[in-house]
Amino acid sequence: IRKSVYVTELAEHATVPVINALSDRHHPLQTLADLMALQQHFGDVKGKTLAWVGDGNNVLHDLMYGATKLGMNLRIATPTGYEPDSEVMKITEGLVKENGTAAIVSTTDASEAVAGADVVVTDTWVSMGQEDEYAKRIAEFDGYQVNSKLMSQANPGAVFLHCLPRHQEEVADEVFYSDASLVFPEAENRMWTVMAVMAAQLGKL
């Protein structure tokens, strides 16, 4: 089911658990895999700074929720017009206040977002259903590639995440295949986190 509103409606009327594996506005299972990868690497992530560079899409939306719930500082760099959903931003700002330690910054400057960050994340610039916008998006996201120059502005020991599949315009090989990249443990964690969610939900039946 592509539309999040339909997933929500189905969950409201279903007699069994409904899991959103991916929809146009949300991707909660990806967030679980991402945060698991970060906890495996850093241990406690509270106080760490996560920088998102790219499209304000469904993957970002749930990462905003998850990261701030764990007390991470959040910086978001998107081109003008590609910011995260305003309702998601409002909810995230509420989570920031609840945690007291997290901060959220939104900018159009990728360097500003990444400077001093502990985690750098990006995703596809052209999501499902946006194929007709490919040329326009590639042009408007120029300057948002995660490469070694951008990563050099992050904290020493900073790591990189991407939910896959990746395209080279989004992240350069020099970062994707570097020691800083956690993309493959992150991908493996999709299996473990999905199993955990299913086990938890089946226990409620």
Confirm if 170 and 54 have CB atoms less than 8 A apart.
yes
Q: Of 45, 120, 163, 175, which one is the catalytic site residue? A: 163
Residues of the chain with pLDDT under 70: 1, 204-205
Burial class (CB in 10 A: 0-12, 13-18, 19+), 60: buried
pLDDT tens column, 73-128 = 999 999 999 999 999 999 999 999 988 777 899 999 999 999 999 999 999 999 87
Across 57-126, where does the E strand assignment appear?
73-77, 104-107, 119-122
35 in any annotated domain: no
20 in any annotated domain: no
CA distance 149 to 130: 29
CA angle 11–17–20, rounded 5-degree value: 65
How many other β-carbons are positioned within 10 Å of the β-carbon of residue 85? 17
* Segment (H or E) for 66: helix 58-69
Instruction: Give the per-residue pLDDT at 99.
Output: 82
147 in any annotated domain: yes
Which domain covers residue 62, as residue numbers?
A: 43-188
How many other β-carbons are positioned within 10 Å of the β-carbon of residue 58? 24
195 in any annotated domain: no
CATH for 82: 3.40.50.1370
Instruction: Give the per-residue pLDDT at 205.
Output: 59
Count of structural domains within the chain: 1
58 in any annotated domain: yes
Is 136 part of the annotated catalytic residue set? no
23 in any annotated domain: no
